[in-house]
Structure 1
Amino acid sequence: MLNLPDRKVFEKKRIAAIDVGSNSIHMLIVDMESINSFTIIASEKDQVRLAASIDDDGNLTSDALNKTIVVLRKMKEVADSLKAQIRAVGTSALREAKNSSDFVAKLYKKTGIDVEVISGHEEARLVYLGVQQGLPIHGKSTLIIDIGGGSTEIVVGQWGEERFATSLKLGCVRLTQMFLASDPLSDEHLRSLELYINTRLEPVLSEVERIGFDIAVGSSGTIKAIKSLVLGILNTPPLQTMHGSVLTAKEIWLAKEALLKARSLKERKQLPGLDTKRAEIVVAGLFVLSSITKILGIREWTISLTALREGILFDTILRDGVWLQGDTTDVRWRSVRSFGQKFHIDEAHAFHITSFAISLFDQLLFKHNLSSAWREFLRSAAYLHECGLFIGHTGHHKHTFYFIRNASLPGFTTREMQIIATIVRYHRKRMPRESDEVYCDFDKEIQKAVNICAAILRLSVSLDRGRQGKIQEIIVRENSNSKMSLVVYLRATHDIELEMYEAAIEKKAFENVFSCSLELMLEQ
């Protein structure tokens, strides 16, 4: 049987979490001292307004690209000087821009920062993970709202599990562009804005109401800006920290009254306590918050200063050292298993193939030298490789490709899902061609890694063709004559003629990818 490595002992790490948001780009650099604690080393923030930089064709402009490059270069310089591991995610604006892939590729080329574009559901999950680190909400059913520039994330969670999570296109930059372009603001535009927000919130909030929650938490810049405005209006000294403070429904109505009187941008910039950079977009954000407050009858919000960036930090730590079997903290493995079970896969066979694939990956490390991230992509692909059988056997590898490619699994970015889907796409029939869908969009390094994982998966699948788990162990040895030998141990006296026949067919793809000869041998 496959001997799994022990879970790694926690190692202190310095991590830079970068949030490429629709309004601003934030970076938080921390020393992760344990799985549950960190010390902030540095933070950076720049307003780029990506949501306002999408042209009529749905593309992010070259000006937006240049501004983002400048900001990310500066952040990378700070992170590198502090020797921090960088992880960057892109949210709503990058999700929706038609040229997102090209935009992200250019960012990487110019800055060396690989921005992961995450789904709305994944963003909501990371916000929840981040809020948990800062507030004592673990055992409480908690509603969390994060009003960003391009979208609003809504989560209800308890005991570390999301009971409900969604992302709505109700960001303050987006809504300002749609409804509040005039200056001063008109009654007609404000009524249209409120109607639009309520129409989109009501069906979602009815589900939130059905589930129920004990406390409400706001984690965005919007709710902090509104609290600062209230303190200014009431001539109250600034709080030492807003984290854990409360914004009441009465205070929201007070802020709304003040903002409705200050119809021009100039007047809003003069309001006490309000950051002038927020003056243009705060009305839209306030309308979203006030609508949620009214519809759900919320009396008060607890403000959280931990959210997406802290979620990125802790998700990065949770990703490190997760192995084949997974556990309750391994959200990615839970997502994969849940997805596979929806398609009624043969789980015993799936585990057997996954065991083979991971064993081959680990033993062939001296040949491929891929990172642990690829180990996890292969693990997920191996487990899910037969989802397409839900439709039928013919072309099931293609069906699986489309299922996974279009899925939104907690813990995975959009590109990671594309990588996993592509590995599965080539676990049978032919190997990739340069012009193939999705594959052609990957750079050469990713294409090479996909080929390696696909070759390993193909061989793994062939070694359980009879679906009876006859082969017990795989050991890879390199011969002195530069040939690689694959030695397959048998269970008792089972005949594996079918498996050997199928493996001989898949041998060619393996040999091409690894540039070696492969011998299949039996040892009793």
Structure 2
Amino acid sequence: MTNRKAAIIDMGTNTFHLLLVELNAENFKTIYKEKIPVKIGQGGISNNIITNAASKRAFHTLGHFKNLIDGEGITDIFAFATSAVRNAENGLVFVSEIKIKFDIDVHVIDGDEEAQLIYEGIRFSGALDDSTHLMMDIGGGSVEFIIGNHKEAFWKQSFEIGGQRLLDLFHYHDPILDSEVVNLNSFLADKLQPLINAIELYRPGKIVGASGTFDTLSDMYYESIHGKKRVQELAFQLPRLGFESLASQLVSLDKSARLQIPGMIPMRVDMIVVATCLITYILQYVSGDYLICSSYALKEGAISRLVKADSLTSAITN
């Protein structure tokens, strides 16, 4: 049986990801991947709208993605939209325009499904074992938390407190003011009470961060110790002390200085301050000497389902 090709489009609030893959019965091979900082939530997320400027950036990027998909002769396209689109009053209009312009069906997923796909992606990376982990994925619009191990998720919830929302609400000065961090922490204490209750119940001993901010933090850490990530590795350890050192830098520097930190990338430089404050807040409740940074998240969760479906089809036909 010829291996099937598929395209995954993850339309996040901050970043659009394209992943072109070839599937086999147990895993997948990446043909091509690209991420573009579309920032679809910028200028409208606090008012629950997608602005005209954000729509234009999205359409331009999707046109580029569609050309790449067509160039590979791929017809199986799995497109997901998350927080910015699901909460936007004009989200359905936006999705229908994508169908008309590009013949791409966009699945607008709710927070629960987003958390489940992120869990499946992290599990697919091999970052989990028998012990109980707290997993988190910091998006531009929402943050997903999952508590579980490599066998199952015990608890999961999505919170609409993503980086773009926190940026709009609290990060008015650069560097961020101490008073803004205090206000942010007070907000988190209020919004994240269900998570804190779940942590007390399940007592996770390890913390796993999925892609995005955690990729950048681990890149910065490896640069700081003059180390190199091995390309084939899917999960990296970020020592807690290494994170704390980076966090103190990030909250004390302005944007131009943050950009000079080795490993920092421009698409993360704005949101990484509030994201770091969020991680620091969560670390009060979870012990452990290091954070695990998983390269896999939502889009790889979708691929894991496709791989399982192909494996099942292969088992039935054979």
Normalised TM-score (structure 1) = 0.56
Residue 70 in structure 1 maps to residue 60 in structure 2: yes
Decide whether the 8 Å contact of 2:175 with 2:251 is kept in 1: no
Residue 123 in structure 1 maps to residue 114 in structure 2: yes
The DSSP-based 3-state class of the residue aligned with 1:51 is coil
Closer, same or farther: CA 208–50 of 1 in aligned 2, 3 Å: same
Q: Which digits, 9 at most, give the CA deviation of each residue in 1:357-388, with x for residues without a partner?
A: xxxxxxxxxxxxxxxxxxxxxxxxxxxxxxxx
What is the aligned partner in structure 2 of residue 297 from structure 1?
A: 287
Which residue identity is paired with 1:284? V
Query: Please, which of 107, 118, 138 is the counterpart of residue 98 of structure 2?
Result: 107
Residue 28 in structure 1 maps to residue 9 in structure 2: no
Distance of 1:55 and 1:289 partners within structure 2: 22
Give the CA deviation at 1:322.
8.1
What is the aligned partner in structure 2 of residue 279 from structure 1?
A: 269
Give the CA deviation at 1:174.
1.5
Structure 2: tracts of 5 or more residues without a match: 314-318
Which residue identity is paired with 1:107? I
Query: Please, which of 26, 30, 42 is the counterpart of residue 32 of structure 2?
Result: 42
Which protein is bigger by CA-based radius of gyration?
1
Decide whether the 8 Å contact of 1:88 with 1:113 is kept in 2: yes
Distance of 1:108 and 1:300 partners within structure 2: 44
Residue 91 in structure 1 maps to residue 82 in structure 2: yes
Give the CA deviation at 1:209.
3.0
Give the CA deviation at 1:286.
0.7
Closer, same or farther: CA 38–269 of 1 in aligned 2, 3 Å: same
Which aligned pairs between 1:170-249 and structure 2 lie closer than 5 A? Answer: 170-232=161-223, 234-241=224-231, 243-249=234-240
Residue 80 in structure 1 maps to residue 101 in structure 2: no
Closer, same or farther: CA 11–69 of 1 in aligned 2, 3 Å: same
Which residue identity is paired with 2:269? A
Distance of 1:63 and 1:260 partners within structure 2: 30
Decide whether the 8 Å contact of 1:202 with 1:295 is kept in 2: no
Closer, same or farther: CA 184–148 of 1 in aligned 2, 3 Å: same
What is the aligned partner in structure 1 of residue 42 from structure 2?
A: 52
- Kindly indicate whether structure 1 or structure 2 has the higher relative contact order, using CA contacts under 8 Å at least 6 residues apart: 2
Which residue identity is paired with 2:149? Q
Give the CA deviation at 1:75.
0.7
Distance of 2:226 and 2:52 partners within structure 1: 44
Distance of 2:192 and 2:97 partners within structure 1: 36
Distance of 2:239 and 2:46 partners within structure 1: 39
What is the aligned partner in structure 1 of residue 306 from structure 2?
A: 316
Which residue identity is paired with 1:255? L
Which residue identity is paired with 1:114? D
Distance of 1:165 and 1:116 partners within structure 2: 20
What is the aligned partner in structure 2 of residue 288 from structure 1?
A: 278
Give the CA deviation at 1:121.
0.8
Closer, same or farther: CA 57–144 of 1 in aligned 2, 3 Å: closer
Q: Which digits, 9 at most, give the CA deviation of each residue in 1:256-308, with x for residues without a partner?
A: 1111221x211211222211321111011111111111222243221111111
Which aligned pairs between 1:127-138 and structure 2 lie closer than 5 A? Answer: 127-135=118-126, 137=128
Which aligned pairs between 1:423-434 and structure 2 lie closer than 5 A? Answer: none
Give the CA deviation at 1:198.
3.1
Decide whether the 8 Å contact of 1:52 with 1:177 is kept in 2: no
Decide whether the 8 Å contact of 1:52 with 1:174 is kept in 2: no
Which aligned pairs between 1:85-484 and structure 2 lie closer than 5 A? Answer: 85-135=76-126, 137=128, 139-158=130-149, 160-232=151-223, 234-241=224-231, 243-262=234-253, 264-318=254-308
Give the CA deviation at 1:201.
2.5
Which residue identity is paired with 1:91? T
Decide whether the 8 Å contact of 1:164 with 1:208 is kept in 2: no
Q: Which digits, 9 at most, give the CA deviation of each residue in 1:434-493, with x for residues without a partner?
A: xxxxxxxxxxxxxxxxxxxxxxxxxxxxxxxxxxxxxxxxxxxxxxxxxxxxxxxxxxxx
Give the CA deviation at 1:155.
0.8
Q: Which digits, 9 at most, give the CA deviation of each residue in 1:324-374, with x for residues without a partner?
A: xxxxxxxxxxxxxxxxxxxxxxxxxxxxxxxxxxxxxxxxxxxxxxxxxxx
Structure 1: tracts of 5 or more residues without a match: 1-9, 324-524
Identity of aligned residues (%): 27
Closer, same or farther: CA 136–229 of 1 in aligned 2, 3 Å: closer
Give the CA deviation at 1:57.
4.5
Decide whether the 8 Å contact of 2:24 with 2:307 is kept in 1: no
Decide whether the 8 Å contact of 1:140 with 1:214 is kept in 2: yes
Closer, same or farther: CA 135–185 of 1 in aligned 2, 3 Å: same
The DSSP-based 3-state class of the residue aligned with 1:165 is strand
